[in-house]
Amino acid sequence: MMTNSIKAITVDDEAGAHENLRDLLTRFCPEVEILGKATHVDQAIPLIQNTKPDLVFLDIQMPRKSGFELINAFTKVDFHIIFVTAYGQYALKAFEVSAIDYLLKPVVVERLQEAVQKVILQQRQDYGARFDALKTNTAGTTFKKIAIPYRSDYAIVNIEDIITIEADRMYSKLLVAYPRKKTTRNYLYAKKLSYFENLFEELSHFYRVHRSWIVNTRHIHTYSKQDRRITLENGMEIPVSKTRKHAFETFLGF
């Protein structure tokens, strides 16, 4: 685990952004020591190699090369990255599902302090898979991958491989298929079912059929109207609530 002292650099093509962030860190996050700054990716790479920072505040949208290309320059990303971005709402969800921290410009003090505290509490990890997920998720108009907390890190899962999401009080249980291994695995996620209902609202094949269940309809094998029961390809059975029965059957084209 890291000590309470954090060595950091800032990477941004706007001079004002550097000065604003440095000022906020000095005033509200004294545990962060700024070692230097870079205005573009090619300048940032040797700066990181020479200073070996614990944390990099990284803008994404820069001339010449994007912030993502900085990540590609390292075989192993063993420093924390907090993206500082002006991206819109869709991209911010992409950061969240990829388990990558970000600050939205203009930077809010409370969010900055929260992000710095998360860095202090976390161990250094290889962020490569999560950054790959983020690049995938920001490249299109729908999310394709999600980072799920698992053991001391994250499992990167194809969203299409999520079979069901089940409510478990303040948590949700995700059943995920691994087609190549011909197996499934359950993951516990510290979010309510409504979080996933909102997150996947543009993915019409994820359907909330019950107050306790969201089903990926692409994994449905059969549906019994009489019993209000879905049978999945793996043989698992899921109930459909009375209140959702008509809308669900309309969705299926019945």
CA atoms within 13 A on the CB side of 242: 0
Q: How far apart are the first and last CA of the chain?
A: 55
Domain ranges of the chain: 6-139, 160-252
pLDDT tens column, 6-40: 999 999 999 899 999 999 999 999 999 999 999 99
**pLDDT of 44-79, one tens digit each?**
999 999 999 999 999 988 888 888 888 888 888 888
* Sign of the dihedral through C-alpha 68, 71, 75, 76: negative
Give the CA angle between residues 29, 71, 88 to the nearest 5°: 70
> What are 145-193's pLDDT values in tens digits?
999 988 878 899 999 999 999 999 999 999 999 988 889 999 999 999 9
Architecture of the 160-252 domain: Beta Barrel (2.40)
Tell me, rounded to whole angstroms, the distance of Cα 209 from its chain centroid: 25
Residue 222's beta-bridge partner residues? 231
What pLDDT sits at residue 104? 87
What number does CATH give the domain 6-139? 3.40.50.2300
Q: Do domains 6-139 and 160-252 have the same CATH topology?
A: no
Strands (E), the chain: 6-11, 32-38, 55-59, 80-85, 102-104, 145-150, 153-158, 162-168, 171-178, 183-189, 206-210, 213-216, 220-224, 229-232, 237-239
Quick check: helix, strand or coil at residue 101? coil
